[in-house]
Structure 1
Amino acid sequence: MLKTTLTSVLCFFVLNFNSFGQSKARTFQEAEKMGKSYQHLDKLYKSAVHSNTALAVFKTGADQQKCYGAYTVLLQDPGRFLNQNNFQWERPTRCFNRIYISADGKIDYFVYHFLPNKEDPNYQVSEIKRQEFAKLLARFAQDYQFSVSANEPFAPCSPVV
């Protein structure tokens, strides 16, 4: 019994080290616990687009359109990746994300938070689905290349379903 318990504890630590220590994808709460709160990250990464163009990386209409197009693809690609890995939500799931991207287009941090379900306010994403999603999203973010680069790091954000 002790050997089984020790093995389980060791597996837990190994899995959590790999999932959270090296992962680029985290919930807002996990990122904050690791010293990477969105307030801290927002100081390092400018907003991709902003109503005040002085606060934005993509300032002109043409550059903003390129960013929007690339961001739309970025929001669709994880869905394809999840489907390819046989991941299905239990029901439509709302999420807010902020994606911190290096100047060369690599994802540095993909921070997200599950939002309440409007149709069923009592619905909660199961812990198993949360863990599976986090693992797959981390794999997705590891090698993703945003199709638009900039002179400085930037961060788009939005709610998604």
Structure 2
Amino acid sequence: MKKLLLTITFAALTIVSVLGQSRALTFQEAEKQGIPFQKLDSLYKSAIHSDATLAVFKTPDQQTELQHAYVKLLQDLGTYLRDNNFKWETQVRGANRIYMQPDGRIDYFLFHFPEGQLTPEKEQQFTQLLNRFIRNYRFAITAPEKFAQCSAVRYSDN
């Protein structure tokens, strides 16, 4: 039964990727839906790694290009949120892990905000806007294979 469930989960992940349906979810919601980050990590290679042979972006130049593209993504998201009247009202800390296709399309954008930083309504509004944002967003660089990038983040209205 467990093997069948893993096969079904893998098939569902493959279908979502093929259909290009980007999804923004909290880490907890992804877990509840049967797509925990550990499973995604087995399907997407790490963008950077302390062992360059395990990374998608191996050279210092590639890693710098990745860093610039990642900062651009976060800046573009901030602009999109602001343009859609989303206000953080205070600095909010969180973490994210983004899973991308080789062409830069985002498959999954998992995020976490520590308890008490956002009201449930504010988190729901963020999730809705983030889902709309990633639907058509293309990461500024491409790669030879699917990859994931994660970081701690600080969001604010500045």
* TM-score, normalised by the number of residues in structure 2: 0.81
Residue of structure 1 aligned with 2:144, choices 134, 148, 151: 151
Aligned length: 134
Displacement after TM superposition at 1:81 (Å): 0.4
Q: Quote the offset at 1:23 in angstroms.
A: 5.5
Larger Cα Rg: Structure 1 or Structure 2? 1
- Name the CA shift for 1:23/1:126 in 2 (closer, same or farther; >3 Å): farther
Deviation at 1:55, TM superposition (A): 1.3
Q: Aligned partners of 2:22 and 2:117: how far apart in 1?
A: 23
C-alpha displacement of 1:135 = 0.3
Whether contact under 8 Å (2:22, 2:107) holds in the other structure is no
Q: How far apart are the structure 2 equivalents of 1:102 and 1:56? A: 15
Return the offset for 1:71.
Answer: 0.7
Structure 1 runs not aligned, ≥5 long: 1-21, 117-122
Q: What does 1:19-98 correspond to in 2, within 5 Å?
A: 24-98=23-97
Instruction: Give yes or no for contact 2:22–2:106 (8 Å, CA) kept in 1.
Output: no
SS at match of 2:98: strand
Q: Distance in 2 between matches of 1:53 and 1:66?
A: 15
- Structure 2 equivalent of residue 114 of structure 1: 113
Superposition TM-score, scaled by structure 1 size: 0.80
Q: Distance in 1 between matches of 2:76 and 2:152?
A: 15
- Confirm or deny that 1:127 pairs with 2:120: yes
Q: 3-state SS of the aligned residue for 1:87? A: coil
After the TM superposition, which parts of structure 1 deviate over 4 Å for at least 4 consecutive aligned residues? none
Q: Distance in 2 between matches of 1:92 and 1:69?
A: 22
Deviations 1:11-49 (A, max 9, x none): xxxxxxxxxxx6610000111111110000000011101
The match for 1:105 is 104
1:87 Cα shift?
Answer: 0.4
1:139 maps onto 2:132 in alignment: yes
Work out the CA distance in 2 between the residues paired with 1:107 and 1:23: 6
